Chains A and B, each alone.
Chain A
Amino acid sequence: MVDEITLSIDGQEVKTQPGKMIIEAAMDAGKYIPYLCYYPGMKPYGACRMCVVEVEGERSPPGKPASCTTPVGDGWKVTTDSSELKDLRRGIMELLISEHPHGCLTCHRVELCGPTDLCLRHVSVNDRCLTCPKNERCELKDTVRFMEMEMDTPLTYNNRHLPQAVKDPYWDMDMNLCIVCARCVRACDEVRGDSAITLQSHSGRTIIGTAQGTSLLESGCEFCGACIDVCPTGALVERDYKWDKAVTSITSTCPHCPVGCQMTLEVNKRDKLIRAIPDRHAAANRGQACFKGKFGLDFVNNRNRLNKPLIRREGVLQEATWPEALDFVADKLKTYVGDSYAMLASSRGTNEDNYIAQKFARTVMNTNNVDVSSNTRPELLKPLQEQLGHPSATNSIWELEQASRFLVVSSNMTEEQNVVAVPIKKALTQGTASLIVIDQRETELTRYAKVWLKPRPGSEAALIGGMIRVIFDESIDDHDFLAESCEDFTEFRNAIWGFDLIQVERVTGVPRSEIQAAAREFAASKPAAILYALETLPRAIREECSRALVNLALVTGNVGKKSAGLFPLLTGANDQGSRDVGCAPDFLPGHRNLTSEQGRQRVADAWNAQIPPFRGVGALDITSAINDGKVKALQVIGNNPNFTNGELGDFLEAAKSLDFLVVQDAFSSELTEIADVVLPSQTFAERRGTYTNLERRVQLLRPALGVKGDGEADWRTICQIAQRMGASGFDYTEEDPIFDELNNIVRVYGGLSYGRLEAEGLQWPCLAADMVDTPYLYERTFETRKAKLVNMTLADAEYPMDSQYPLLLAHGRVLHQPDVDMDIVELNNKNSINRQETIKVHPDDARTLGISEGDWIEVVAAGSTIEGAASLTGHQPGIVNVTTLFGELISELEANSSSDPLLHISTLPLTPVKVAKPVAQAAAD
């Protein structure tokens, strides 16, 4: 196989690699060949035939091959624009135009029509440029223009006159504009692995739709919008701001989850964010997004904006000027210096915000009571730092495409960190990988799992220990890696003997054979990646379980290799960055442990200040600290689902008892209602700064919108307060110097700068400006310093239970349940799912509760009830399973009118419940 192929394209010599298609080689060389069905990054399809070329040379294809499906050959002479080819293309385009509304091209006013002109109806209403949502964004139109067509074909024009599909959430489908290039179908199929849409019928009737012809809600759609992003015409469009034109666009980072998708934000002339299009060239998301990023960013346009600082006077929040508010806060805070003050920064705060926040808390307020409000599972990172070195994921998201084994532990990844699941699903559907899931809930990934283990809640660490035991027993561990790269191996191995499989089976409730199957499957092939969120685990065993997973990765030699490694799945967009810059109660910037004298000194020197040596109050302890009266003044930045969903206990109630509550937020919320001072901040779309995603990639936030009201960057607000409190070291005027300062302290950020990040997001460690970044960690680390195996002991499962609610509800959610009967009904002119839930109860529990198969029962939790038919197929005593459809969640979300609906998205924790027959029915029995 030759490495390089030289061919000539229209006389221009082009060098390219074997296997490339002619059209790719031409595009790389800056040569445009018209195309419609081809899409960069997807497999060639060869339907539109627009890209036909002429080829001469050895073994070249005869006739007029399509350049998107013809691999290059050495020494070939390719012609792309002979007059014959142009005629052929025009011939095809004339056919295409004969069924596509094209008034936008033929209207005699096209050249003259000004922005304020009324349409004088020279064109029928279906065909007008103004009625097309993609007017002037249309690839078809651009292609016609490029081809310089006369538009005088004698072929008859026929509009399809199909009704538009506008009843599904978020997207509109106008099949009269479809050119049947099938890009959407292919994107859904090959990129997303969902196959929610398909080509229907054949011949001239061929059209896009769902297989059942009804609604996306039941077809397995994850509402990622990938189909919309690839549509060349106005056939598939986002519903909101459908007809709005963008006047500016800029690429920024999505604030909804730690994947850090790069989104091109389009803004209209009224300075509203109208569309978000995932960036095809971004390393983090490669042109993909999810329902949150694609359809959930326009919360920034919400009218419910806080425009002015508010101060509570005589019990009422009243508008104030910035100087007033800042003076007021500074004065107040002076009285709480020390541990009676706490700061909860935002997971959407930039590295700069959160760096300043912790610097403020530590140097001005003299406390370590600082954390981000999303930091509810710090145990995920801790063992990574202790055993391997860095508290972060070891590898990159898109390396997962090449992994051959996945272990996913208690994570609803397809909803929470959606794009991470895209390469996983791709590897699984290609058949190059297999998946093991440990989760009590049925999630989208369990549908792909080869082995799905459902341990007793709280016994997950024991289960992993059992798997390691099997791996040692059967000698399928990575002996070489263990010997060369790990310390304390023998001791660890001896400790693992404690995991007697009979005992593990007793503790976990998982049959021995399944534990063995999972262990064998996982160890059978490399590279293997472990992804864990530990959402359903009780807090007490999360650390133990994380440690077990790190051990498992080491035992199988899956650290320090491409496409392998560990991925702790956090939830906040900048959770990783917040940890890196020290916005945590127990860590200083640069992951320096607070208890380390040397580390503390290094940071203190840089700041020229003192740092208290004791661990502060973090997000998880804040509610009890307030209730205990330890924390009296609280400063909160940004809204967070954890304030209301119980993750932080009854935080809102506790916050009411605070002496002083300052809230910095862009929108009013339950928390701003009870604040003493509310300081307006800016949304991500108005901000400059950096986020660090879950693969350690530091990416820029670029301001897409102008300033709204008196909203201010959070770091600036904090600096103002600090300066008013007489502190030095807070006189920044913009983000760059903050970033430069934190780069000095956070060693792994050392080589990063706004200048470098402007070109692309970079993954730390990047120690110097002339060094490259690090896609995966520990490639050579263990040559000098060994990884630590930490001993494990088998303990009984423990899950804190509530006597009133004796069972646990494992609520799962999947995209598609073809085996469950359901109807699509119209409610308020919107499609919605109507179906009966099936509640899976273990036969033992059913016997106790007097429930038999098919009984209508209700599952009651504190504050919610689910009704459904009982099915005695539960897998564990004490657990009740319900699996709902993602479509139902999407319908709810779309109907939600709050300022940021995604903050109210129902996550899927294990919920304490009781199960009973509904009162009426029980009486009837």
Chain B
Amino acid sequence: MPTYQEIKTTADERWQRLTAGERPWIRVGTAMCGHAAGAYEVIDALKAELEKRDINAVIDEVGCLGICYAEPLVDILKPSGSRLFFHNLTPEDVPEIIESYLVEDTVPETKVLGYMGDDPIDGVGDMNDIAGINRQLRIALRNAGNIAPNDIYQYISQGGYAGINKALTEMQPDEVIKEVTDSGLRGRGGAAFPTGVKWSFMVRSTGPKYILCNCEEGDPGAYNDKGILESDPHTLLEGLMIAGYATGSSNGIVFIRHGHDGPIDRTQEAINQAYDLGLLGENILGTDFSYDIEVALTGDSYVAGEETALMEAIEGKRAQPRFRPPFPAAFGVWGKPSTINNVKSLAYTPEIISNGAEWFSSIGVNRSTGTAILCLNGNITYPGLYEVPMGLTLGEVVNDIGGGVPNGKELKLLQTGGPLGGVLSSESMDIHLDFDEMRSAGAILGSGGIIVGDEDVCAVDLTRILVAFCQYESCGKCFPCRLGMEHLLEITERIARCESRPGDLDLMRSVGGTMETTSLCGHGQLGFGPIRSAITHFEADFISHIEEGKCPTGSCLGPKHVPKNTRPFATEFVPGGQNG
């Protein structure tokens, strides 16, 4: 097996050929955002056009640069120049661009977004002047959009696998844990538990141990885990290996929701490449450390993202949470000690090891170090996947990066941290991105999804949709969640239809209170959260439905967003539809 230096040399040579070789290098964003916007049609058009004109160029599929609103985003790097970005391309635009930029060597007139690199291109703005780029500080996503996720050498040329190499050759496992603890890295899955401390729980136990990486990510409006896996899966693999080395485990399992095809395929390919280069398997990089990583898939279940349900799912059982204690660090998957980390948490660790705890902890504010990876969407001008330092205010994120609410509408609410996270009003724009500050404000940063709602959004309607999601995704194990969510949805629906009964709000509080205290896992415990925060911040919307019998924005009327699966047996299985 080659040494790290040998691999690195090869990688650098290949990178040199790509960037300063003879051929232009065309990169197309094909993460979910690009894919959905039609990137693959653009690639087909590019290939056809290049072939037609007999131009020899390299086309790579890359991940997401963060500015999803500009997808399909294509950039062309001519030998020893800067990258020229084209936004929102269609196959029809392709001939013109190839014609002017690669044949005639002139900057096309339309669809040019900017250049990126040291050499300015005449008549084109610098990409770094775009708010969505310049406010970002990309650590976990450092390579996203820049390298091809299916080429391990591109990752290595950008300093990849240097972290694990450093850990293996220069550090003891406890030093790795100390480094991660000192960095102040907190889990990005929602609970914000210090990652280093979590790892240290595993160290004492002997025998087989597992590091599990959770990429269930079923939250509507969250795509940062998938974004990392699609854009740069190797950074996760490296993070898993570092965690494995630090905790003395021998296996890592990447748990991805069934159906996330892009992340699944790219992670699997990355694993295969890492094995081929000897970066996984026995005696990695010539050391005593051996490590294996595999991909496991969930069924169609949101709760499978709950750590113990995830273990059940990996074991091939129904994805429903276990009770605790015993905790996963003692009794995890297959009864062996296990640690579960979010994709984002692990993706930071290679850079933390490479650059040191001090560097990481200097980013961010208070006890929230590093960056926040945000999925900004909803009624917003520039939706995207942004990695920004902790400590920005929500207002900066929404207005400076996201460009504010479009069409001259007023901002009404923010929905953060996934469907269980709750809503914030427009008055909360001064809250900083800080785990503790967000929590005390009644919202969680959670998975990092921020959905923006404008003045046309009815809080009741939004609540109904959130509750419908939570109800549908209850695993059905514990009684309070299985039954409580049904009733909460039924009552919310009733209110949305302006057919509420007296005392419905109190009834919801009572059911919600029972769920909060007695549910088995976070799903039920937090299931009332969205309703409570909506009632707190937008009581007027509820009062309007309940007392005046009308929806203030009108969005509750009409047939859109009909929640499915409510009181299912009553509506679907009755012969003839009658109700006893």
CB of B567 within 8 A of CB of A49, answer no
Query: Assuming A161-B580, A199-B318, is B483 touching A205 (CB within 8 A)?
Result: no
Chain A residues within an 8 Å CB radius of B476: 180, 199, 201-206
- What is the bound-complex CA distance between A45 and B323, given in angstroms? 7
**CB closest chain-B residue, reference A175:** B569
Query: Assuming A44-B323, A52-B518, A203-B473, is B507 touching A154 (CB within 8 A)?
Result: yes
Which of the residues A52, A201, A203 comes within 8 Å of B485, measured between beta carbons?
A: A203
- What is the bound-complex CA distance between A126 and B570, given in angstroms? 14
Which of the residues A48, A50, A162, A179 comes within 8 Å of B569, measured between beta carbons?
A: A162
**CB closest chain-B residue, reference A52:** B518
Which of the residues B323, B471, B487, B507 comes within 8 Å of A203, measured between beta carbons?
A: B471
CB of B474 within 8 A of CB of A203, answer yes
Chain A residues within an 8 Å CB radius of B570: 158-161
CB of A202 within 8 A of CB of B520, answer no
**CB closest chain-B residue, reference A99:** B483
Chain B residues within an 8 Å CB radius of A126: 580
Chain B residues within an 8 Å CB radius of A69: 323
Chain A residues within an 8 Å CB radius of B501: 154
- What is the bound-complex CA distance between A244 and B565, given in angstroms? 37
For A53-91 the 0/1 string (1 means CB < 8 A from B) is 000000001011010011100000000000000001001
- What is the bound-complex CA distance between A6 and B561, given in angstroms? 56
Query: Assuming A71-B325, A91-B513, A95-B479, is B569 touching A205 (CB within 8 A)?
Result: yes
Interface membership of A46, Cβ < 8 A: yes
For A254-270 the 0/1 string (1 means CB < 8 A from B) is 00000000000000000
CB of A204 within 8 A of CB of B486, answer yes
Chain A residues within an 8 Å CB radius of B574: 161
Chain B residues within an 8 Å CB radius of A98: 483, 487
Chain A residues within an 8 Å CB radius of B479: 36, 47-50, 92, 95-96, 179-180
Chain B residues within an 8 Å CB radius of A921: none
- State how many angstroms separate the Cβ of A144 from the closest Cβ of chain B: 14
**CB closest chain-A residue, reference B577:** A161
Chain A residues within an 8 Å CB radius of B490: 156
- State how many angstroms separate the Cβ of A889 from the closest Cβ of chain B: 30
Interface membership of B477, Cβ < 8 A: yes
Interface membership of A513, Cβ < 8 A: no
Query: Assuming A203-B471, A203-B485, is B511 touching A91 (CB within 8 A)?
Result: yes
Interface membership of B517, Cβ < 8 A: yes
Chain B residues within an 8 Å CB radius of A155: 487, 507, 511
CB of A180 within 8 A of CB of B517, answer no
For B3-22 the 0/1 string (1 means CB < 8 A from A) is 00000000000000000000
Interface membership of B301, Cβ < 8 A: yes
Chain A residues within an 8 Å CB radius of B518: 49, 52, 64, 66, 88, 91-92
Interface membership of A198, Cβ < 8 A: yes
CB of B514 within 8 A of CB of A92, answer yes
**CB closest chain-B residue, reference A198:** B318
Query: Assuming A156-B490, A203-B565, is B475 touching A95 (CB within 8 A)?
Result: no
Chain A residues within an 8 Å CB radius of B322: 46
Interface membership of A124, Cβ < 8 A: yes
Interface membership of B558, Cβ < 8 A: no
Query: Assuming A46-B323, A162-B573, is B520 touching A206 (CB within 8 A)?
Result: no
CB of B472 within 8 A of CB of A49, answer no
* Most B CB within 10 A of own CB, among A64, A155, A201, A204: A204
* Most B CB within 10 A of own CB, among A63, A96, A124, A203: A203
For B447-480 the 0/1 string (1 means CB < 8 A from A) is 0000000000000000000000001111111111
For A160-201 the 0/1 string (1 means CB < 8 A from B) is 111100000000000000011010000000000000001101
Chain B residues within an 8 Å CB radius of A203: 471-476, 482, 485-486, 565, 568
Interface membership of B510, Cβ < 8 A: yes
Chain B residues within an 8 Å CB radius of A161: 569-570, 573-574, 579-580
Interface membership of B244, Cβ < 8 A: no
Interface size class of A (residues with CB under 8 A): 35 or more
Chain A residues within an 8 Å CB radius of B511: 91, 95, 155
- State how many angstroms separate the Cβ of A464 from the closest Cβ of chain B: 36
- What is the bound-complex CA distance between A419 and B244, given in angstroms? 45
- State how many angstroms separate the Cβ of A485 from the closest Cβ of chain B: 37
- State how many angstroms separate the Cβ of B331 from the closest Cβ of chain A: 12
- State how many angstroms separate the Cβ of A55 from the closest Cβ of chain B: 13
- What is the bound-complex CA distance between A71 and B326, given in angstroms? 10
- State how many angstroms separate the Cβ of B517 from the closest Cβ of chain A: 5
Chain B residues within an 8 Å CB radius of A160: 569-570, 573
- What is the bound-complex CA distance between A64 and B520, given in angstroms? 10
- State how many angstroms separate the Cβ of A920 from the closest Cβ of chain B: 45
B334-384 contacts to A, CB under 8 A, are: none
Interface membership of B484, Cβ < 8 A: yes
Chain A residues within an 8 Å CB radius of B559: none
CB of B580 within 8 A of CB of A124, answer yes
CB of B480 within 8 A of CB of A92, answer yes
Chain A residues within an 8 Å CB radius of B478: 46-49
CB of B471 within 8 A of CB of A204, answer yes
Chain A residues within an 8 Å CB radius of B207: none
**CB closest chain-A residue, reference B569:** A160
CB of B580 within 8 A of CB of A204, answer no
- What is the bound-complex CA distance between A154 and B490, given in angstroms? 12
Which of the residues A50, A156, A205 comes within 8 Å of B568, measured between beta carbons?
A: A205
Query: Assuming A155-B507, A160-B570, is B580 touching A96 (CB within 8 A)?
Result: no
Interface membership of B503, Cβ < 8 A: yes
Interface membership of B519, Cβ < 8 A: yes
- State how many angstroms separate the Cβ of A264 from the closest Cβ of chain B: 29
Which of the residues A179, A182, A202 comes within 8 Å of B301, measured between beta carbons?
A: A202
- What is the bound-complex CA distance between A61 and B325, given in angstroms? 9
- State how many angstroms separate the Cβ of A911 from the closest Cβ of chain B: 40
- Given known contacts A98-B487, A160-B573, what 11 new A-B pairs fall within 8 Å (CB)? A46-B323, A47-B479, A88-B517, A124-B580, A160-B570, A161-B570, A202-B303, A203-B474, A203-B476, A204-B566, A204-B569
Q: Name B residues whose Cβ lies closer than 8 Å to a Cβ of A.
A: 301, 303, 318, 320, 322-323, 325, 471-480, 482-487, 490, 501, 503, 507, 510-511, 513-514, 517-520, 565-570, 573-574, 579-580
21 A-B contacts (beta carbon < 8 Å): A44-B323, A66-B518, A91-B514, A92-B518, A95-B484, A158-B570, A161-B569, A161-B570, A161-B573, A180-B476, A199-B318, A201-B476, A202-B473, A202-B474, A203-B472, A203-B473, A203-B485, A204-B485, A205-B476, A205-B568, A205-B569
Q: Which 6 A-B residue pairings sit nearest by Cβ, starting from the closest? A: A206-B476, A160-B569, A91-B514, A46-B323, A95-B483, A69-B323
